[in-house]
Amino acid sequence: MLIPFSTKNCFQLLCNLKVPAAGFKNTVKSGLILQSISNDVYQNLAVEDWIHDHMNLEGKPVLFLWRNSPSVVIGRHQNPWQECNLNLMREQGIKLARRRSGGGTVYHDMGNINLTFFTTKKKYDRMENLKLVVRALNAVQPQLDVQPTKRFDLLLDGQFKISGTASKIGRTTAYHHCTLLCSTDRTFLSSLLKSPYQGIRSNATASIPALVKNLLEKDPTLTCEVLMNAIAAEYAAYHQIDNHISLINPTDETLFPGINSKAKELKTWEWIYGKTPKFSINTSFNVLYEQSHLEIKVFIDIKNGRIEICNIEAPDHWLPMEICDKLNSSFIGSKFCPIETSMLINILHRTCPEDDEVHSKWNILCEKIKGIM
């Protein structure tokens, strides 16, 4: 449902945004600049969904500025096991989010700015938006050499990526969102975006790795605050609107009715992992058991994030096939996820409570499988 700008809802939006009514009438021709007070990636992505689904952007473009606590954001059609180090992320408490737009995987932290340009489908123009960002950067530092590329990245000094782009085009409205690296932890970025998982086969969209750099490394005055203000000023000038950034709270249901359920959906396992395009894993592990080396072969098919086919093969003298197959069949239908695997093995143990040796061998196999989840 589109909620036009002039409805009660939008009136509320503008009031709550603290835009003085008179000032709004006199100075604002069209458009809004919003900035989130939240650093939660799911809440901020929910704001994008809400604006996309409910606002009538005809003649009233919106710029949304937002930053997140450390998170990895994958594209709509990507495979997180292929794109990032999920074990490291869990260890470090890094959130994983799947966005609704296509494209590759990026890392966000408080040193990365996200910009979402909302327009009607007709007015959607990524190059125009990127040129606006370049003008803003040059307004604060005229010496910066920043250029948009054909794939809508922004490159610093002709070689370092400082911004990546993705977009979503709906029936009537569209948005183009991009990152801007100001002072992100680059070491962390590259270690998180390196997948340790081997033998994955899939048709999921693959990311295009690039050399990245922070703007602050080029000029220490280019802080996130300076950059956000510069972009807002350039946006206001370009659209001839008031240079005012309205702070919004993405959990405010009076402003965005239904937004919390959008954030909740974006946080679910079913959305983040379950939307992964079907894939398979063909790999092997070496296991040391009582001084001998064993080779364990693994073939797994995963659909909607759940195990569809599972063939774990151990040497028959170590674990007879029928015992190994009990483990294989217990995996069918379960989430490709270490927590679910731990629960599953506990249930399986209860089917033969007295056999400690089998338990320990199943445990060894499960620990190995959890390592690739």
How many C-alpha atoms does 224 have within 13 Å on its Cβ side?
18
Site for ligand LAQ (CB under 6 A): which residue of 36, 38, 129, 165?
A: 165
In one letter, which amino acid is 327? L
Q: Cα separation of 132 and 63, whole Å? A: 12
CA 57 to CA 170: how far, in whole Å? Answer: 12
Q: Which stretch binds ligand LAQ (CB under 6 A): 1-9, 177-185, 290-298, 358-366?
A: 177-185
Q: State which amino acid sits at residue 2.
A: L
| Pairing status of strand 146-148 against strand 62-66 | unpaired
Q: Does 193 bind ligand LAQ (CB under 6 A)?
A: yes
CA distances from 133 to 31, 113, 130, 146, 314 (A): 17, 12, 5, 9, 56
CB of 181 to ligand LAQ, least distance (A): 5
DSSP assignment of 280-338 equals: EEEEEEEEEETTEEEEEEEEEEEETTEEEEEEEE--TTTS-HHHHHHHHHHHTTSBSSH
User: Segment contacting ligand LAQ (CB under 6 A): 31-39, 100-108, 287-295, 305-313?
Assistant: 100-108
Query: Containing H/E element for 372?
Result: none
By the rule CB under 6 A, 38 interacts with ligand LAQ: no
**Among residues 189, 222, 236, 296, which is the contact residue for ligand LAQ, using CB under 6 A?**
189
Q: If binding is defined by CB under 6 A, does position 112 make contact with ligand LAQ?
A: yes
Is residue 62 a contact residue for ligand LAQ (CB under 6 A)? no
Residue type, 72: V
Among the residue ranges 119-127, 171-179, 236-244, 353-361, the one whose residues contact ligand LAQ (CB under 6 A): 171-179
Q: Which one of residues 107, 124, 175, 235 is an interface residue with ligand LAQ (CB under 6 A)?
A: 107
Site residue total, ligand LAQ (CB under 6 A): 26
Choice from 43, 114, 119, 214 touching ligand LAQ (CB under 6 A): 114
Least CB distance to ligand LAQ at residue 68 (A): 8
Residues of this chain that interact with ligand LAQ (CB under 6 A) are: 73, 99, 103-108, 112, 114, 161, 163-166, 177-179, 181, 189, 193, 207-210, 212
